[in-house]
Amino acid sequence: MSRRNRKYAVPGVNRGMQMFKAEVMRREGYNVNPDRPDDVKYEVAKELGVPLQQGDNGDLSTGSAGKVGGKIGGSMVREMIRLAQQQLVDRERE
């Protein structure tokens, strides 16, 4: 599975997003190395029964890959929504 070249809307946020991913997945109960937060995908894949390996995963179905990415991305989106809602509440209290 090759790594996508992500383009964020705000330049320079790549490291921050990786740290955010690490923190969110740590809260989800995964063992995350903060220096290599992308490696959490292997732990997630194992939990989901997806045979994701380092290197070539050409025989992995898109559905299986989507299960892993969806678990990680879904957790991140839920946390972003929670943070935005908290900011709105905090703003109303000012």
Query: pLDDT per residue over 37-74, tens digit each?
Result: 889 999 999 999 999 999 888 899 999 999 999 999 99
pTM for the whole thing?
A: 0.77
Count of CA atoms in the C-beta half-sphere (13 A) of 8: 9
Task: Please report which confidence band the pLDDT of residue 3 belongs to, taking 50, 70 and 90 as the band edges.
Answer: low
- Which conformational region is residue 49 in: left (phi greater than 0), alpha (psi within -120 to 50 degrees), or beta? left
Q: What is the CA radius of gyration of the chain?
A: 15
- Structure-token match 């070249």, residue found: 5
